[in-house]
Structure 1
Amino acid sequence: MKHALRTLGRSSLLAAGLLLAASAWAQMTPVGTWQSIDDQTNQPRTEVVISEQGGVLSGRITRLLRPGADQAARCTACTDDRKDQPLIGLEIIRGARQAEGRAVWEGGRILDPEDGRSYTLRLTPIEEGRKLQVRGSIGPFGRTQTWVRVQ
């Protein structure tokens, strides 16, 4: 009986350790819910959920967070299949994949729904996955925002 309890205790510790390790690894991914931060006001702008399917990331706006934001607003500046689609539910991240052996996701595109432009994308989890560097660029020119994970 004593041996069985000791084995059970070790198994429980091993399982807890594996869960903690998996939880830590899960945080070093862009998958999850994020608040984008406004460049001028430094206040939350939108809530974006990034999901993964078959190794490819996509991200959709789920909430507009700016005070007074029109929750029924549409992407009137968009020029592709997202033209005139509601901002809430709008897919703004498409096609990013994890770089080989690195905690960086790239090769996709990110849409700025305010001007309708699409940029090449690089996503880099930082600060143990609590924040996400989101870089959009056209050629050598670009901008990096830091998004905050919603717990």
Structure 2
Amino acid sequence: MPAPVSVIALLTAITVTAFGIRCYCTDDHCVPYGVCESQLCLVGIVRNTNSVIRTCGTELVGCRKDVGRWADLCACDQPFCNTFAYLRSHTRHEQTPMNPDDTLVFRRVDGPHSETNDHHMDEDLGDPEHQPTPKNSLLVFTLVPLSVAAALVLVITFNYYCHLG
């Protein structure tokens, strides 16, 4: 590593270690603007209220279940890393496989499901590397209205210029 880059990296590490990192904070003790500083950022779901709380703390980096007042708790060491997306993506890896006897509460409705495709889709939901991609509905919902609008502009323009003279 070149000397200036290594000096900047070292100064950044010392600054973060000495002053802590800034985190989102939605806990009761937060200062205005919802920011706190500490060695680690925490995001978790409180067991009593099922609410997501983002705060600062000193837990070990990583995600755990059933820690104190937390049902799920993740600790990270990057500035403003304590988001719900971080909690969701890191606790998803630790989920146990579903029992076939469990009842289905919600089903994805982002595309048509056939009987042969249902089993394949259920397997993909547990694997974050093979998540289903969005269907072409976004294309349909943007392309069709834009085409109708363009046709309407052409008809109005044609009508206007035909009746000028």
- Name the TM-score class by shorter chain: under 0.3
Looking at secondary structure, tell me which structure has more helix per residue: 2
TM-score (norm 1): 0.23
Looking at secondary structure, tell me which structure has more strand per residue: 1
TM-score (norm 2): 0.22
Larger Rg: 2
Answer 1 or 2: higher relative contact order, Cα 8 Å, separation at least 6.
1
